[in-house]
Amino acid sequence: MTNGSPGSGKLTRVRLWDPGIRLFHWALAICVATAWFLGEFGPGIMTLHFYFGYAVIGLLVFRLIWGLVGPWPARFRDFVYSPATFIAYLRGIRARTPSFWAGHNPMGAVSVFALLGVLGLQAYTGLFSDPDDFINKGPLADSVSGSWVNWATGWHNALPPLILLLVLLHVGSIVYYRVWKGEDLVTPMIHGKKTVLGDVPEDRIIETIDGAAETGTRHSDAA
Ligand code: HEM
Ligand code: HEM
């Protein structure tokens, strides 16, 4: 029942992403893009920026809880892989076959943790930011020392280009999977269903795809 094992090699149609993760994902994408845009190009007074920033904090708290006690395969432990699995996956990444991975694949998992971590730091430092422009000031800036405020403001100004880069890589990888590997990762993030290879929880299976078991290459098979 784990993502890391090739299991029986059965190809199945499963209910993969639960509604909570799907809603979380698209709400996060909208809130991060809007907060980023308002921060970079918005009006002088950034009240709206703050609201979208608070929404990002709420979503990240939800994701933390879901990562600990949520359903398969959204739990963090479902997408922490061994170095061997990671290397085996990388070896097969150029193959022009879908991965049929049940959950976040090892490459995707790294980008998910990077995105969540950097967004967490961005939103956290926003709370203490104060650029001394007498207009915008994070709600907690007055409760901490000046050096803490400088530290937070420095990071809050420095991280947005990294966020942009991570999001571009994120969307770029999804396009790569679609175009090069012929695997659609986007619609499963919309309706939840995906065709996957390997062992999955029984109650998630919609149908078993007959005779197709040998058509997919699970990269961990190469290990
Ligand atoms: C600011 C924009 C975006 C952010 C911050 C973002 C962030 C994330 C995060 C954190 C995850 C992991 C979901 C989880 O918590 O388990 C994820 C997964 C995913 N995202 Fe995005 N995303 C963004 C935009 C997009 C866009 C525009 C698309 C569509 C092209 C997209 C498609 C996906 C897909 C398909 C997955 C699942 C990948 C897999 O199968 O492993 N994302 N995204
Ligand atoms: C992931 C969420 C967030 C993103 C992507 C984001 C992005 C940005 C960007 C791009 C800027 C402009 C930086 C510059 O001038 O170069 C900015 C400024 C600012 N943000 Fe955010 N922000 C987020 C969350 C927050 C939160 C939660 C707060 C506080 C409630 C906040 C408070 C501020 C303040 C006070 C400024 C002006 C100070 C400064 O320039 O450092 N932000 N933000």
Q: By alpha-carbon position, which residue is closest to atom 39 of ligand 2?
A: 131
Query: What Cα–Cα distance (Å) separates residue 62 from each residue in 27, 58, 196?
Result: 12, 6, 26
pTM for this model (two decimals): 0.92
pLDDT of residue 100: 96
What are the angstrom distances between the C-alpha of 85 and each of 4, 65, 67, 82?
Answer: 7, 26, 21, 5
**30 within domain boundaries:** yes
Identify the pLDDT of residue 10. Answer: 87
Residue 202 belongs to a domain: no
Range of the domain at 168: 23-189
Which tens digit of pLDDT belongs to each residue from 144-194? 999 999 999 999 999 999 999 999 999 999 999 999 999 999 999 999 999
Give the pair of three-digit tokens for residue 20.
């909570």
Q: Does residue 215 lie in a domain region?
A: no
Ligand 1 center–CA 51 separation, angstroms: 21
- Tokens 């907060």 locate to 35
Tell me the DSSP string of 164-179. HHHHHHHHHHHHHHHH
Average pLDDT over residues 29-48: 95
- Structure confidence at residue 8 (pLDDT): 52
Q: Does 123 sit in the ligand 2 pocket, CB within 6 Å?
A: yes
Closest protein CA for atom 13 of ligand 2:
157
Quote the pLDDT of residue 132.
Answer: 83
Provide mean pLDDT across the span 185-210. Answer: 95
C-alpha distances in Å from residue 45, one per residue of 42, 49, 55, 178: 8, 9, 18, 41
**pLDDT over 90 at 55, yes or no:** yes
In this prediction, residue 215 carries a pLDDT of 43
pLDDT tier at 65, thresholds 50, 70, 90: very high
The pair of structure tokens assigned to 156 is 């809050």
Looking at residue 134, what is its pLDDT?
76
Rounded CA separation 176/90 (Å): 14
CA of 174 to the centre of ligand 2 (A): 27
The amino acid occupying position 94 is R
Residue 103 is assigned to a structural domain of this protein: yes
Any domain includes 43? yes
| Domain membership flag for residue 172 | yes
Q: 134 CA distance to ligand 1 centroid (A)? A: 36
CB-ligand 2 contact for 53 (6 Å cutoff): yes
216 within domain boundaries? no
pLDDT tier, 219 (very low <50, low <70, confident <90, very high otherwise): very low
Express each pLDDT in 68-109 by its tens digit. 999 999 999 999 999 999 999 999 999 999 999 999 999 999
Cα separation, 180 vs 168, whole angstroms: 17
Task: Provide the pLDDT confidence category of residue 217 given band limits of 50, 70 and 90.
Answer: very low
Q: Identify the nearest ligand to the CA of 196 by its number.
A: 1
CATH code for the domain in which residue 29 is found: 1.20.950.20
Q: Across the strands, what pairs with 207?
A: 13
Ligand 1 close to Cβ of residue 28 (< 6 A)? yes
> Average pLDDT of the chain?
91
Check residue 211 and give its pLDDT: 57
H or E, element range at 206: strand 205-208
Residue 101 lies inside a defined structural domain of this protein: yes
Residue 5 is predicted with a pLDDT of: 41
Domain count, the chain: 1
